[in-house]
Chain A
């Protein structure tokens, strides 16, 4: 345990307000989000603060998600809103909190952690590495092709109780990827739909023959007053077949009279050129999130492997100051689609 003059403890109902003030200062979190952020006891239990007396100097928390990895779900800690008041920076408080937090993640059987860094180098030093990119397409909606009617319809969400339909689509769309997370009702309601909030997003379902085949979650924001021009920011588009993908793009095209441009976020492997009459649009691949094996031996033992893989490897992992249980030499024995992971004595059992 590192000696520190700061008191390290979870946030609670009495200190949550200080953390929200800190998030407002560091991330510009709007006042309207205060009632929706870290509201539950189990969320506060996943938080940590470094206190200088009664003053919160640095805080963070994590979402307890299950993340899809090779067709199975593994518990993951989604680290969020790591924030330090400027007067307390450069004192290693982030390192201290993340080290303590990893002890908790490990103890509760959560071997993976993901975060969206504001500064990659800080998290490289703590053992996180880039693992997720996102494609960002920015275009004028009239550049999308005029597709013929294929019998799909698009309708706005009617009730937040439809979250299960959205989650089912989200889950099926995510089957081909490593990474997507399971979202629960609270998450959909509060964070993704922002249902009871001025920041509420637009959520549209794509249907064919009454069957949900895709969705689009988006928000319109004003770029100019006169003439009124808007930006449509489409943070997630999901489709189960190419026709549903075209229906989403046709829906975006229908905004061409009042939306100046669309910013669309897509998985980096999605092909999109064929969807445009004029595909000369602005595109970029943006580094998005980083992953750490918080408990490397546990993570390696949880993964599914190809069933015909037989063999043994000795893996030497570098020392990990914030997760010291990871460093050392590990023997991985693969058989029957699983791996047995045991601590290995150097010089023994090497392959």
Chain B
């Protein structure tokens, strides 16, 4: 969802797989600015 990159998830051993698949996922799920307003 943009909070962490695929590379970060890989470093944290939370995702694994062939380099080509991880590269595709990196493009599909780039790290993006995240912020949620305080709705409570």
Contact A178 B38 (CB under 8 A): no
Contact B38 A131 (CB under 8 A): no
> How far is the CB of A59 from the nearest CB of chain B, in Å?
16
Do most interface residues of chain B lie in helix, strand or loop, or is the interface mixed? loop
Q: Does A63 contact B (CB under 8 A)?
A: yes
Number of residues in B with C-beta < 8 Å to the partner?
Answer: 19
Q: Does B13 contact A (CB under 8 A)?
A: no
Q: Once bound together, how far apart are the Cα atoms of A180 and B34, in whole Å? A: 8
**Could you mark each residue 8-35 of chain B with 1 if its beta carbon is under 8 Å from any beta carbon of chain A, else 0?**
0000000000101100110110001111
Q: Does A114 contact B (CB under 8 A)?
A: yes
Contact A177 B33 (CB under 8 A): yes
> How far is the CB of B27 from the nearest CB of chain A, in Å?
5
Contact B39 A291 (CB under 8 A): no
The bracket for how many chain A residues form the interface is 35 or more
Do most interface residues of chain A lie in helix, strand or loop, or is the interface mixed? strand
Q: Does A235 contact B (CB under 8 A)?
A: yes
Q: Once bound together, how far apart are the Cα atoms of A116 and B36, in whole Å? A: 11
Contact A289 B28 (CB under 8 A): no
Q: Once bound together, how far apart are the Cα atoms of A177 and B32, in whole Å? A: 7
Interface residues of A (CB under 8 A from B): 63, 65, 67, 69-70, 78, 80, 114, 116, 130-134, 170, 174, 176-181, 183, 187, 191, 235-236, 265, 267-269, 288-289, 291, 305-306, 309, 311-315, 332, 334, 339, 351
Contact A174 B37 (CB under 8 A): yes
Contact B36 A313 (CB under 8 A): no
Contact A132 B25 (CB under 8 A): no
Q: Once bound together, how far apart are the Cα atoms of A110 and B28, in whole Å? A: 21
Contacts of A265 in B (CB 8 A): 38
Q: Across the interface, name the chain A residue whose C-beta is closest to B18.
A: A351
Contact A181 B28 (CB under 8 A): no
Assuming the A-B contacts A116-B40, A131-B1, A291-B1, are A180 and B18 also in contact, with contact meaning beta carbons closer than 8 angstroms in the complex?
no
Q: Output the residue of A63, A67, A131 with the most chain B CB within 10 A.
A: A131
Cβ 8 A contact of B24, one of A183, A235, A311: A311
Contact A178 B33 (CB under 8 A): yes
Shortest 8 CB-CB distances between A and B: which pairs? A267-B35, A179-B36, A177-B35, A131-B3, A178-B2, A311-B24, A132-B36, A178-B34
> How far is the CB of B23 from the nearest CB of chain A, in Å?
9
Contact B24 A132 (CB under 8 A): no
Contacts of A178 in B (CB 8 A): 1-3, 32-35
